[in-house]
Amino acid sequence: MKRRGMQHSLAAHSAPSIEKIERRLFLRQGLSLGALALLSGCELTEDESVQKVLWAMSRWNDRAQAALFDPEKLAPEYPESAITRPFPFNAYYGEDEVRMVDAASYRLELSGLIRDAKPWTLPELYALPQTSQVTRHICVEGWSAIGKWSGVRFRVFLERIGADLAAKYVGFKCADDYYTSIDMATALHPQTLLTFRFADQILPPKYGFPMKLRMPTKLGFKNPKHIMAMFVTNTYPGGYWEDQGYNWFSGS
């Protein structure tokens, strides 16, 4: 009886320590699993079922980021003296292969959950109310640069075309075959601009002529250049890099 009482008191006394040990065990098991995954190298990560789990975890991560996203919080803006010169070029092809889009025949194609999906010419787009921002472009590769972009607030454009603002996604198709999509909350963010100018000049081809969607709240690869078509949808559209495993939400 005495012994039992002692055990009970010991157990009560050491409960926090046992909890600590269990927590350590939990972490250690997690680390062991990670190490096992590393040991087995590519074979494990290339496995289709593992890919599915990783993809599902990434989508869960997207939802967590979307829940934390504050649609009113602004990204820092900078004075023009802080602009990075020259601004870096980055794409999946070299600068000598930059897409040269013919301005005269250009029409921005619209589709999906949009009331007035007529195509837009460049003069029509340039006639929309314009605004500028000096913001930092943050690349997933680990570098960043400050630039000045000008264009129409994307929210204004979406309202003008009668886009369903309650839809989940806006997708983009680009002249270099690149494609990506964003969440509607980011599309409506006050700093999300459909830009036609860079450093007060018509957007040079290497920075995305005829237009680039600029979002200082997202990593660089989410900012599509050479946009040819856009659509509004409730079906998850993914994106080129996102479909290769990069995180879709990719807030910066």
> How far apart are the C-alpha atoms of 112 and 64, rounded to whole Å?
26
Q: Min. distance of Cβ 168 from other proteins in angstroms?
A: 11
Q: What does the per-residue mask of binding to other proteins show for 147-186, with x meaning CB under 8 A?
A: ------------------------x-x-xxxxx-------
* Residues facing residue 171 across a β-bridge: 181, 231
Told to check if 91 binds other proteins by CB under 8 A, we report yes
Told to check if 105 binds other proteins by CB under 8 A, we report yes
Given 50, 66, 128, 140, the residue binding other proteins (CB under 8 A): 140
Told to check if 33 binds other proteins by CB under 8 A, we report no
Q: How far is CA 46 from the centre of its chain?
A: 24
Task: Check if the beta carbon of residue 118 is closer than 8 Å to that of residue 110.
Answer: yes
In 3D space, the residue among 122, 218, 114 whose CA is nearest the CA of residue 170 turns out to be 114
> How far apart are the C-alpha atoms of 143 and 91, rounded to whole Å?
14
How many residues contact other proteins, by CB under 8 A?
Answer: 55
> How far apart are the C-alpha atoms of 238 and 171, rounded to whole Å?
8
Given 237, 249, 250, 251, the residue binding other proteins (CB under 8 A): 237
Q: Min. distance of Cβ 194 from other proteins in angstroms?
A: 17
Q: Amino acid identity of 183?
A: D
Told to check if 228 binds other proteins by CB under 8 A, we report yes
Q: What does the per-residue mask of binding to other proteins show for 181-220, with x meaning CB under 8 A?
A: ----------------------------------------
Tokens standing for residue 47: 């496995």
Please provide residue 242's backbone torsions phi and psi, each rounded to the nearest 5 degrees: -65, -35
Task: Check if the beta carbon of residue 231 is closer than 8 Å to that of residue 112.
Answer: yes
Told to check if 32 binds other proteins by CB under 8 A, we report no
Q: How far is CA 146 from the centre of its chain?
A: 18
Told to check if 74 binds other proteins by CB under 8 A, we report no
- What separation in angstroms does the CA of 158 have from each of 4, 106, 125? 72, 19, 12
Q: What does the per-residue mask of binding to other proteins show for 36-55, with x meaning CB under 8 A?
A: ----------------xx-x
Told to check if 34 binds other proteins by CB under 8 A, we report no
Query: Hunting for tokens 């979406």 — which residue is that?
Result: 158
Residues in touch with other proteins (CB under 8 A): 19, 22-23, 26, 52-53, 55-57, 59-60, 63, 90-94, 97-102, 105-107, 109, 111-113, 119, 140-141, 171, 173, 175-179, 221, 228-229, 231, 233-238, 240-241, 243-244, 246
